[in-house]
Amino acid sequence: MKMKDGFLWGGATAANQFEGGWNVGGKGPSTADMMTGGTHTIPRRITPVLEEGTYYPSHEAIDFYGHYKEDIKLFAKMGFKTFRMSIAWSRIFPNGDDLQPNEEGLKFYDEVFDELLKYNIEPLVTISHYETPFALSQKYNGWASRKVIDFYVNYCKTIFNRYKDKVKYWLTFNEINCLLFPFEAGAFLGGGILDINEENKDQLKFQALHHQFVASAKAVKIGHEINPNFKIGCMIAYLCTYPHTCNPDDILLAQNRDQIGNMLCSDVQVRGYYPSYAKRYLEDRNIQLKAEADDEKILKEGTVDFYSFSYYMSLVAGVNSKGTESSGNLMGGIKNPYIEESDWGWAIDPKGLRWSLNHIYDRYQIPLMVVENGLGAVDTIKDDGTIDDNYRIDYLRKHIEQMEEAVKDGVELMGYTMWGCIDLVSASTGEMKKRYGFIYVDKDNDGNGTLNRIPKNSFYWYKKVIETNGENLD
């Protein structure tokens, strides 16, 4: 089957994982710049002061900063219709609360957008992707403070005004629900929260999330005032969650995980108010949100134009697990015996994507976009210099097939941007070894390598997929 005309095929990245240039051109340090590397089993560390002799993967990353013309040319060769990237907030406001933006930073993104538009590639911009100016963490404890809303809104106004004729598609926060995830670095990655402990963590995370909801809604409203043609979306890490058995307790647990983990954030961002189940969840945990009088009105007036999400895996929820534990480096939990896992223990479940698309569309009836999906794997260069990543092609083909099934089911889908279209630093582990790209980048986990770019087999495969608008997946 073919997708409808104008379907946005492309790839996705994030500044802190691929841009590099962390302290040049007037850029200030971001939270991501304070995170060390890790592995599948060793978590990344947050070091509030940079340690001498420690390797920080975001500092150079794959140096898109110095290679953007070359990289965009390769994306154009594949026929990208869109390219998802993020703006590094601390490149525009080095401390987050500066009064004036950094012109050199603004100019850099002007050049990147111009380069994309030269090839008719539509930029899709994430405003905040897992990084906050580090000074905001130090001074205000990041999003735990309400003050950060104003700094974010000021940042949005600046970039909306500057790029209003170059960028149409925006996402306010990457995987906004990640703040609620149980893994350790979640509050820092998602909310720049530095000072947090076991006792106050739920309160702080929900408070920070509330501030992000308000900030997102304000941004949507202001964005539409600046350019009524803007399309501004939410972005959710969608973790399709199955009950372990037909035990009604498992069913209820899976439903609750879906509500709190997946749907709560988009319910607020799409519908404009907190869902009823959230009130009970907060009350049961004695979490008291501090809100201001017109927050309700702000949320109502700033609902998003479309729903975007990342899809990598499905999970299993069960009250009495007798199942094997999954070795997933992020979410873990009960292993699903019906599906395989990636080398990092992420359950590979293409049909879960079809299920998720239907489930989400049933609920909101607004256009959806898959803005991340892909396989983190170890790639090797063969003696003849080529890279045979047929396992990646297989993964993507199966997911695209299911996405097409969902479109046949009636889901309104705007586009698909494969995650990490060029190899980049892994968010969860800080590794280069966990590669996603159509384009190989010569760099290893310790930061060694020439940074040379080499198209993999999947590069040519994806080119054909785009050329035929999703018809030829062979």
Q: Among all residues, which ones are annotated catalytic?
A: 175, 372
Q: ∠ CA(315), CA(321), CA(326), 5° rounding?
A: 45
Report the residue number, 172 or 203, with the smaller CB distance to ligand BGP.
172
Q: 258 near 177, Cβ under 8 Å?
A: no
Find tokens 């720049």 and name the residue: 192
Nearest-10 Cα torsion for 89, 95, 99, 100: -60
Residue number, 64 or 274, with CB nearest to ligand BGP: 64
466 forms part of the interface with ligand BGP (CB under 6 A): no
**Helical ranges in 236-341 per DSSP H:** 248-257, 264-266, 276-284, 295-301
- Please report, as a single letter, which amino acid is at residue 320: N
Q: Tell me which residue has tokens 């479109």.
A: 407
Of residues 215 and 371, the one with the C-beta less far from ligand BGP: 371
CA atoms within 13 A on the CB side of 178: 28
Kindly indicate which of the ranges 68-76, 158-166, 203-211, 423-431 contains the residues binding ligand BGP, using the contact rule CB under 6 A. 423-431
174 is a site residue for ligand BGP (CB under 6 A): yes
Q: Is 175 near ligand BGP (CB under 6 A)?
A: yes
Query: How would you class 282 by CB atoms within 10 Å of its CB: exposed for 0-12, middle for 13-18, buried for 19 or more?
Result: middle
Site track 123-162 with ligand BGP (rule: CB under 6 A), x = hit: -------x--------------------------------
- Distance separating alpha carbons of residues 303 and 365, to the nearest angstrom: 13
Contacts of 163 (CB under 8 A, 6+ apart): 109, 110, 113, 125
Binding to ligand BGP (CB under 6 A) within 224-283 occurs at 237
Q: 71 phi and psi, to 5 degrees? A: -65, -45
Nearest-approach distance from CB 429 to ligand BGP, in angstroms: 6
- Of 433, 434, 443, 456, which one interacts with ligand BGP (CB under 6 A)? 434
Residue 310 interacting with ligand BGP (CB under 6 A): yes
Per CB under 6 A, the segment of 28-36, 138-146, 294-302, 425-433 that binds ligand BGP is 425-433
d(CA 95, CA 91): 9
The DSSP secondary structure of 59-110, one letter per residue, reads: TTTT-HHHHHHHHHHHHHHHT-SEEEEE--HHHHSTTSS-SS--HHHHHHHH
Asked if 426 touches ligand BGP (CB under 6 A), the answer is: yes
419 binds ligand BGP (CB under 6 A): yes
Kindly state the smallest distance separating residue 348's Cβ from ligand BGP, in Å: 13
Name the minimum Å distance from CB 448 to ligand BGP.
20
From 111, 142, 115, select the one nearest 128 (Cα to Cα). 142
Among 122, 372, 389, 404, binds ligand BGP (CB under 6 A): 372
State how far the Cα of 280 lies from the Cα of 343, in Å rounded to an integer: 38
* Residue 422 CB, nearest approach to ligand BGP (Å): 13
Q: 161, 101 in Cβ contact below 8 A?
A: no
Nearer to ligand BGP, 192 or 243 (CB): 192
Cβ closer to ligand BGP: 298 or 400?
Answer: 400
Shortest spacing between CB 427 and ligand BGP, in angstroms: 3
Give the residue with the Cβ less far from ligand BGP, 101 or 352. 352
Cα distance between residue 422 and residue 438, in whole Å? 6
Please state the closest distance from residue 131 (CB atom) to ligand BGP, in A: 10
Only segment of 64-72, 210-218, 427-435, 442-450 that touches ligand BGP (CB under 6 A): 427-435
14 belongs to the binding site for ligand BGP (CB under 6 A): yes
For ligand BGP, the closer of residues 205 and 244 by Cβ is: 205
Does position 432 interact with ligand BGP (CB under 6 A)? The reply is no
- CA 69 to chain centroid, in Å, comes to 23
Of positions 376, 415, 455, 470, contacts ligand BGP by CB under 6 A: 376
**Residue numbers of the site for ligand BGP (CB under 6 A)?**
14, 17, 130, 174-175, 237, 310, 372, 376, 419, 426-429, 434
